[in-house]
Structure 1
Amino acid sequence: MSRQSISFTQANDEWLKSQVDNNEYSSKSELVNDLIRQARKQQRQIDWISAKLDLAEKNGFTSDTKSQILAESKSLISG
């Protein structure tokens, strides 16, 4: 496993520490790796949806563009 040195804002560092202190994670490294895994999974889901939207748009199943649908979906996810 490669080692990295990264800096966090004070607010983010405090949040990371609180997660470790609450025994949610055993270390900041474990937490950061989990956040990256979650982001990668979310990107795979977005890529899958994007491919499906491309197909739907090409086949005439929607009049909305892929970018319109993705923007609406992202706004619903973030919330």
Structure 2
Amino acid sequence: MCVDRRIDRPGSANLGARLESDVTTLVQSGRYPSRSEVLRESARLVEERERRLLALAAAIAHGLADADAGRVEAVADIAERLTANYQARAESDVS
């Protein structure tokens, strides 16, 4: 069975030699049916990364706002509570 592995090249995407080679390899290997599909998938991945970065920035802003408002707990207090919790679990597993 012969599968068409065309590599269409829109003039608006200049990727440079290394990325062009990567795209060509992906198409020729059959992983993607065309250069356009590789570029679309790349754009989707960039969009997803940008969404995650925005969510991270929002979470950081929220955490900083909590810290500024005094809604924080000292790391030593958290570590002490976690240590006691894990020690209690370990002791109950031994029993």
TM-score, structure 2 length as denominator?
0.57
Could you report, residue by residue, the CA deviation over 1:15-39 in whole angstroms, capped at 9, with x for unpaired residues?
1100001111000100001001001
Shift of 1:11: 1.6
Structure 2 CA distance, aligned partners of 1:8 and 1:23?
20
**Of the candidates 12, 21, 24, which is equivalent to residue 28 of structure 2?**
21
Q: Find the structure with the greater CA-based Rg.
A: 2
Shift of 1:4: 5.8
Gaps of 5+ in 1: 63-79
How many residue pairs get aligned? The number is 60
**Of the candidates 35, 40, 49, which is equivalent to residue 33 of structure 1?**
40
Gaps of 5+ in 2: 1-9, 74-95
Greater shift in the superposed pair: 17-26 or 53-62 = 53-62
**Of the candidates 50, 56, 71, which is equivalent to residue 63 of structure 2?**
56
Task: Please tell me the residue identity of whatever aligns with 1:12.
Answer: L
Higher relative contact order (CA 8 A, sep 6+): 2
Could you report, residue by residue, the CA deviation over 1:33-67 in whole angstroms, capped at 9, with x for unpaired residues?
100100100110110111011011011149xxxxx
TM-score, structure 1 length as denominator?
0.67
Residue 5 of structure 1 pairs with residue 18 of structure 2: no
